[in-house]
Every structure is written in structure tokens, then in C-alpha cells.
């Protein structure tokens, strides 16, 4: 892929990749870093990108790999820091390996004619769903993010995560069942 084609790729798929990075990293600062690192790595591998076979899947695969590597690196550093300090306190990183703080979601401004009370209820339900999804194990959460957040098909997700399509389907099924059960236990109709 030539440089001009790569720039077109950034313009066409950049927003989808960034949205996926936000879901993975759970904060805007970490998402920005992950997004930039993804496209830097993609630029290095631009000769391997086939513009006719789904380059967005290739980009998502790079983002997932970088994110997993970051999490492993931060987990290793935290274990070393805890061993050196000899205390039970963490180093300011959350379970995902990223800095603590509120996740900054990117939401489009809507004018859907809802009453303020209805809009508040909808936002609360969305926040609850996001919290429940974040509680899922990584192997169940990633296929959901890729399918519903990035619009990837089952076959694309299988390629991104390097697992069989049947495994993707079963993980999505198990994730949806867990979500349904958890939301029903918290009093939400599913």
C-alpha cells in the first residue's frame, strides 16, 4: 500500500478505529495513545495491508495486539513495584492496566425529541450497560466491542482475535447471556 492509499485508509477507517480504541482503553488519553500507536505500527506494515480485503480488520487486529501488550507490560510493572515496595498498595493503575479515572465516552449529540426525564433514564441505562460490559472477562468483552462497537462481522472478529469463527459466536452468546442475567438481577428489563 502506497502512502497516498494509507492516508485514504486513515480518513475512511480512522474514526472506527478510534472508537474501538476508546472502548478498549476506557479513557481518552490512553485511547489517543493506542490510536496513534496503531497507525504507526500500520504504517510500518503498510506493505502487508491489502486494500481489497478488509483493511479495517487489519487495523483492529493491530490495536488489540498493542492493547494486550500494554496490559501485560503494566501488570508486570505493577507486580515488580509491589514486590519492591513490600506493601499491598497499587501503583495508580486500574485492572485494565491504565491510569485510574473516569472513562470518557464519546457520544454523538442527539436531538431525538425525548423528554428530559426520558433522556436521563436512557443515559442511566446506558451507563449501567457499560459498567456490566466492563465487568465481563476480556475474552467475552472483546468480541462484543468489535461486533457492536466497530461493526465487525463474526469472520472479521475471528481474524482480528486469531480464533475460530465458532469460538467468536459462542463467546458472544455467553457474553449476551451474562449481560442479560446481570441486568435482570439489577432490575432492568431485557
Phi/psi-derived region of residue 86, left when phi > 0, alpha when psi is between -120 and 50, beta in every other case: left
Write out the CATH class of domain 1-101: mainly alpha
Q: Which fold has domain 108-190?
A: Arc Repressor Mutant, subunit A (1.10.10)
Over 50: is that where the pLDDT of 8 sits?
yes
For the chain, the structural domain boundaries read: 1-101, 108-190
Q: Residue 172 has what pLDDT?
A: 93
The whole model's pTM is what? Answer: 0.58
pLDDT in tens, 81-135: 666 665 444 444 444 444 434 333 434 444 556 677 777 777 888 888 888 888 8
Average pLDDT over the chain, rounded to an integer: 79
Q: Residue 169 has what pLDDT?
A: 94
pLDDT in tens, 141-165: 989 888 888 888 899 899 888 899 9
Over 80: is that where the pLDDT of 57 sits?
yes
Amino acid at each position: 500500500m502506497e502512502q497516498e492509499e494509507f492516508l485514504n485508509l486513515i480518513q475512511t477507517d480512522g474514526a472506527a478505529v478510534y472508537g474501538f480504541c476508546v472502548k478498549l482503553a476506557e479513557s481518552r488519553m490512553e485511547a489517543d495513545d493506542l490510536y496513534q500507536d496503531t497507525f504507526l505500527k500500520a504504517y510500518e506494515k503498510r506493505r502487508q495491508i491489502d486494500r481489497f480485503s478488509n483493511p479495517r480488520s487489519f487495523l483492529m487486529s493491530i490495536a488489540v495486539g498493542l492493547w494486550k501488550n500494554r496490559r501485560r507490560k503494566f501488570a508486570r510493572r505493577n507486580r515488580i513495584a509491589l514486590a519492591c515496595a513490600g506493601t499491598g498498595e497499587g501503583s495508580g493503575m486500574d485492572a485494565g492496566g491504565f491510569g485510574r479515572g473516569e472513562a470518557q465516552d464519546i457520544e454523538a449529540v442527539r436531538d431525538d425529541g425525548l423528554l428530559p426525564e426520558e433522556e436521563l433514564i436512557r443515559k442511566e441505562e446506558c451507563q449501567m450497560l457499560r459498567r456490566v460490559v466492563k465487568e465481563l472477562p476480556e475474552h467475552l468483552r472483546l468480541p462484543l466491542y468489535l461486533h457492536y462497537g466497530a461493526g465487525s462481522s463474526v469472520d472479521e472478529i475471528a481474524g482480528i482475535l486469531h480464533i475460530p469463527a465458532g469460538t467468536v459466536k459462542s463467546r458472544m452468546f455467553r457474553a449476551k447471556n451474562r449481560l442479560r442475567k446481570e441486568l435482570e438481577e439489577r432490575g432492568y428489563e431485557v
